[in-house]
Amino acid sequence: MNAFTYVTARTPASAIELVRPDGRFIAGGIDLLGELKESLTTPKRLVNIKTLADCAGVRQERGRWSIGANVTLAALGAHAELTRAFPALSQAALEVGSPQIRNVATLGGNLAQHSRCWYYRHRDVTCRKKGGNACLAREGAAKFHSLFTGCMCLSPVVSNLAIALAALEARVVVQRGTKTDALTIAQLYATAWKTPNAHNSLRPDELILRIEVPAVAAARSAYLQLAEKSDFDWALVSCAAAARVVDGKAAGAHIVLGAVAPVPWQIDEANAWLEGKPFTAEVADRAAELMLREARPFRDNAYKIPIAKALVRRTWLKLAA
């Protein structure tokens, strides 16, 4: 691990100024410390953002919930009102790591974390995400990699919270220089699909401040994932669904898959199919077919397709409860 300086920012503006030109933000630090130990990043300065008031707290205002980027995953999972309003968010938070990790890891950090691809993380390998010429998973071991091959890097998005928040139509408020922008979850990750060395659409000097979730009356949501181990493991596939229930049928429905693409995987045609439909297995199965129609599995990861189909069905049926 290389030497670095450590400073504490008092405002978002000062955090951005301090992180330039060669620094990194640190809040919980769960992902960043791993990168430092593996020499994947060698910042000259770490900028502590733990005490930023702009990134703290949970509140409801003007028809939406505002959740600070520094809210820990443990606090998110234990927040009674949020759990009632958005079960998917609480369920996704409580699937991350162990209790010890959730006590430290933050919402913003979960959204901004970097690839877990074993080629990217290996110190002796230079894959496309690290500036090499090829995505090594295409010809190598791709057990945990993407099902969709139109991207240049097969490393999938690993954020649980991104999947739940995409289903809930959340916005991510980001400080960009002197301005703030509100990004959809799709926008937050769009660059990762187009640019192999990107993990998301943020530059190193852009800071997530908070997440805003519409407080939709009578909305239901759910999140499920399957991992190799029941605790303290990354999802092989995850799924989140959200919809309002009107006369027993879905309105404003969204289903999102995680760990199958570099971005949270959502298909407009599948969401349109769900509109006005009942919460039945047959409806879910057709939505799953639409979502996975363009999947191109490799030798090692074709198992993800039946798992994804099962999770779409189970998550959709949970909304009927």
298, part of any domain: yes
Question: pLDDT tens, 207-266?
Answer: 999 999 998 755 899 999 999 988 889 999 999 999 999 999 999 999 999 999 999 999
CA distance 289 to 282: 11
Is residue 63 domain-shared with residue 202, that is, in the same domain?
yes
Give the residue among 233, 290, 250, 249 at the shortest CA–CA distance from 267. 290
28, part of any domain: no
Question: pLDDT tens, 80-107?
Answer: 999 999 999 999 999 999 999 999 999 9
Which of 214, 234, 266 marks a domain boundary? 214
Read off the CATH number of the domain in which 177 is found. 3.30.465.10
Is residue 61 domain-shared with residue 182, that is, in the same domain?
yes
Of 277 and 151, more confident: 277
36, part of any domain: no
37, part of any domain: no
Question: Following CA atoms 167, 306, 260, 121 in sequence, which dihedral angle do they give, to the nearest 10 degrees?
Answer: 130
Is residue 196 domain-shared with residue 235, that is, in the same domain?
no
**How many independent structural domains does the chain possess?**
2
260, part of any domain: yes
CA distance 311 to 303: 13
Mean pLDDT of 265-293: 98
Is residue 187 domain-shared with residue 231, that is, in the same domain?
no
192, part of any domain: yes
Which of 183, 214, 245 marks a domain boundary? 214
189, part of any domain: yes
- For residue 305, the enclosing domain spans 219-318
Mean pLDDT of 182-202: 96
| Percent of the chain residues topping a pLDDT of 90 | 90
Is residue 87 domain-shared with residue 187, that is, in the same domain?
yes
Mean pLDDT of 280-289: 98
Is residue 166 domain-shared with residue 184, that is, in the same domain?
yes
Is residue 88 domain-shared with residue 166, that is, in the same domain?
yes
Q: How many CA atoms lie within 13 A of 230 on its CB side?
A: 0
Is residue 103 domain-shared with residue 241, that is, in the same domain?
no
CA distance 315 to 54: 34
Is residue 169 domain-shared with residue 99, that is, in the same domain?
yes
Q: What are phi and psi of 34, to 5 degrees?
A: -65, -40
Mean pLDDT of 55-82: 95
CA distance 129 to 155: 9
Arithmetic mean of pLDDT over the chain: 95
Read off the CATH number of the domain in which 246 is found. 3.30.390.50
Is residue 162 domain-shared with residue 233, that is, in the same domain?
no
Which of 169, 195, 214 marks a domain boundary? 214
CA distance 214 to 305: 31
134, part of any domain: no
CA distance 154 to 148: 8
Is residue 306 domain-shared with residue 224, that is, in the same domain?
yes
Q: How many CA atoms lie within 13 A of 199 on its CB side?
A: 17
Is residue 186 domain-shared with residue 304, that is, in the same domain?
no
CA distance 43 to 187: 26
pLDDT on residue 217: 56
